[in-house]
Amino acid sequence: MKKQTQLIHHDYQPPQGFESMSVPVCQASTILFPCVDAIKKSQWQDRSAYTYGTHGTPTTFTLEQRIATLEGAQHALLMPSGLAAITLVDMAFLQSGDEVLIPDNAYEPNASFALHELARWGIQARFYDPMDPEDLRQCLSAATRLVWMEAAGSITLEFPDVPALCEVIHSSSFSKQRRILTAVDHTWGGGIAYCPFDWGVDIAVHALTKYPSGAADVLMGSVSTSDQALFEALQMTQCRLGACIQAQEAQLILRGLSTIEMRYHAVDSTTQTLAKWIQSQPCVQKVFHPCLEDSPGHENWKRLTQQKAACLIGVLFQPDISEQVIVDFCNQRSLFSLGYSWAGPMSLILPYQVAALRRRGWAYQGQYIRLAIGYEDEQALQADLQKGFDSLLK
């Protein structure tokens, strides 16, 4: 036997009994079976065995269970990104002739998938005002199959009354003819600020890229549900798509999960303090953060959550401040870097033209930026922002 073969079919087995605190990384495409009979009996759907890497490994099964616990759900599935988790829900449940309802302040790629991909398959998207349950009622039709929600909304952080939105759907005559599914993107809540299943939603999507990672170095998403039939449908669509995650990446999320609650609370505290302080700045017209009384949906947030919030703050400047001045403001910050995503170690800043993103309009005039607070200290972040705000008054 040549070395080459010996190196592949080697006798050595490490001793049994190794227990690390961390979950081992089990990398595989091929998983070996002890005999042909075992292949026939092997079941990946109920997670009782391993068949092939795309269907799961001990590392990914473990992460699924922990995400289900985080979400307060019976089942969780993992996808390669938060966006892929959103599109899995669409693909599992929508068919030609259906309508999907999307809140107008949704994570924009959710809307974009509907308008560009689902549209080609004969599925129509409608956009509703998430702060007005009556508007949602008007948008429902016999074709409605799926209603997306997001708490809080992307970029502008309006906090909707999700139980009221669910009630509108469940009491509608259309949902008596055919089940209308509800899915919430609750990335902002991190599984910490609230449990979306308490509000009567069917499915929860979470970009694990954000808080569960907490390190800005891995992309992943999850879809959770406590409904067995929905779970099985999601699972089969995921399997047919060939969408799966790698064990190395699952392990990075497992590492992050153990500290998620502490990180969420710590950054929440800094963010709420900064949001209140920013509100007092003369160059600022309005601050968007659900802890602030005049931020849209403040009352819903107060009533429906643990009064905890993610690291995001929206800042609307006075209408006489120009776009170029705000571009300079963003470029000149020393502790706020320019970049997408959030819930990582570094604070981030980005300007947004909100009106251009909204199909149902945007009530405000003025330049808008979104801040994502990182793990730096509050005083240093405040000093950097203060310098910027002061320069706007000159």
Ligand X SMILES: *Cc1c(COP(=O)(O)O)cnc(C)c1O
Name the site residues for ligand X (rule: CB under 6 A).
Answer: 81-83, 107, 154, 185, 187, 207, 209-210, 219, 221, 341
Q: Are 206 and 71 in contact (CB under 8 A)?
A: yes
Q: How far is the CB of 80 from ligand X (least distance, A)?
A: 8
Q: How far is the CB of 116 from ligand X (least distance, A)?
A: 16
Task: List the alpha helices (DSSP H) in 81-227.
Answer: 82-93, 108-116, 133-139, 162-170, 174-177
Q: Are 220 and 209 in contact (CB under 8 A)?
A: yes
* Nearer to ligand X among residue 150 and residue 161 (C-beta): 150
Distance, first Cα to last Cα, the chain:
81
Both tokens of 80, joined, read 């390669």
Rg (CA), the chain: 23
Q: How far is the CB of 324 from ligand X (least distance, A)?
A: 28
Q: How far is the CB of 50 from ligand X (least distance, A)?
A: 26
* Nearer to ligand X among residue 78 and residue 316 (C-beta): 78
Among residues 236, 244, 222, the alpha carbon closest in space to that of 76 is found at 222
Beta bridge partners of 348: 337, 372
Q: How far is the CB of 210 from ligand X (least distance, A)?
A: 6
CA–CA separation, 53 and 59 (whole Å): 11
Q: How far is the CB of 343 from ligand X (least distance, A)?
A: 8
CA–CA separation, 377 and 381 (whole Å): 6
Distances (CA, A) of 339 to 226, 351, 370: 35, 10, 11
* Nearer to ligand X among residue 222 and residue 285 (C-beta): 222
DSSP state of 55: G
Q: How far is the CB of 165 from ligand X (least distance, A)?
A: 17
Which residue number has the CB closest to ligand X?
82
* Nearer to ligand X among residue 114 and residue 219 (C-beta): 219
* Nearer to ligand X among residue 89 and residue 275 (C-beta): 89
* Nearer to ligand X among residue 92 and residue 283 (C-beta): 92
* Nearer to ligand X among residue 92 and residue 219 (C-beta): 219
Helix axes 247-257, 58-71, angle to 10 degrees: 40
CA–CA separation, 244 and 40 (whole Å): 23
* Nearer to ligand X among residue 180 and residue 348 (C-beta): 348
| Three-state secondary structure call for residue 141 | coil
Q: How far is the CB of 115 from ligand X (least distance, A)?
A: 16
Strands 221-225 and 203-207: antiparallel
